[in-house]
């Protein structure tokens, strides 16, 4: 008599994908390659700056994964600023974590500073077209 609930559903009402849709960059080469590729595309790229020690980053991470599953036309990239500090220097003033930089054709078009999931979703929705 229980409800038929998918094992993928979380308490926030989003569906978790089984495959990772957020690309985690771990080398300078990966960063340069992805950044150069973004310059050649009209596709929205959301760069998620984070750190392992960041509490608000851990809070918002499930939502970032959910957004990546929802917005398959958007590329989500995760960068740990402790592993790749040079990637944080690509865009001015990444001094609060998490910071989300929305990029098209290699240029910043918007930004979300802090673990503001509603603002991130709104700006992603607005900028993806």
Is 54 considered catalytic here?
yes
As a whole number of angstroms, the distance between CA 106 and CA 34 comes to 10
Is 57 considered catalytic here?
yes
Which one from 44, 54, 60, 81 is the annotated catalytic residue? 54
Give the count of beta carbons closer than 10 Å to the beta carbon of residue 46.
25
Which residue, 111, 54, 51, 115, is CA-closest to 85?
A: 51
Which one from 57, 60, 69, 79 is the annotated catalytic residue? 57
The catalytic residue positions are 54, 57
């Amino acid at each position: 008599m229980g409800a038929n609930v998918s094992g993928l559903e979380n308490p926030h009402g989003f569906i978790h994908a089984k495959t990772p849709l957020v690309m985690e960059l771990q080398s300078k080469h990966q960063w340069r390659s992805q950044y150069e590729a973004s310059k050649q595309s009209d596709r929205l790229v959301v760069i998620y700056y984070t750190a392992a020690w960041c509490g608000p980053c851990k809070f918002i991470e499930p939502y970032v994964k959910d957004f990546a599953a929802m917005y398959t036309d958007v590329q989500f990239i995760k960068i740990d600023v402790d592993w790749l500090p040079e990637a944080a220097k690509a865009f001015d003033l990444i001094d609060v974590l998490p910071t989300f930089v929305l990029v098209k054709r290699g240029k910043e078009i918007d930004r979300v500073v802090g673990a503001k999931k509603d603002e991130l979703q709104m700006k992603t929705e607005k900028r993806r077209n």
